[in-house]
Amino acid sequence: MALDLGERRIGVAVSDPTRTLARPLATITRSSRKEDIAAIGALVDEYAIACIVVGLPLSLDGTEGPQARSVKRYAGFLADSLPVPIEFCDERFSTAEASDIMRSKPGRSKRGTSDEIDAMAAAVILQTYLDSEAGHNHDARDRG
């Protein structure tokens, strides 16, 4: 499962059982940290999640700014509250890519709602992570 942590909403995406394809799942409207974590925990249970990938908003030069540090703090609360490991994935440009995907869907005349974009951004983050993991596994097999 991937999370796109925003100030007002949390985009959520999941992968298929083979960990090949990500899809947007939902958007959680943020309230208190306790309620947010309870909602995320319910999804972890419902979908039998093995790992949470959190989008890390790095600066354009790849460094961690205030927003990335805030996301890492929040991920620490998730790690303390949920029984699954937390991973990070660079989320630079994920919202722009999500908007492009939404615009390119057949029959769509506009870019999509904020909720749709946030969930799609989480799917972009998760797909990036899955593709990266597949590449690492492929590299390890090539080395024998």
Instruction: Tell me the torsion sign for CA atoms 96, 94, 13, 129.
Output: positive
Distance CA 111, CA 52 (A): 27
Taking the chain (144 residues) in consecutive chunks of 10 residues, what is each chunk's mean pLDDT? 94 94 95 96 97 92 91 96 96 67 63 79 93 66 41
The per-residue pLDDT for 133 is 86
pTM score of the predicted model: 0.83
CB count in 10 Å sphere of residue 129: 24
Q: Contact, 57 vs 91, CB < 8 A?
A: yes
Residue 67: give the domain boundaries: 2-142
Q: Considering its fold, how many domains does the chain have in total?
A: 1
Distance CA 61, CA 29 (A): 30
Q: What is the CATH number of the domain that holds 8?
A: 3.30.420.140
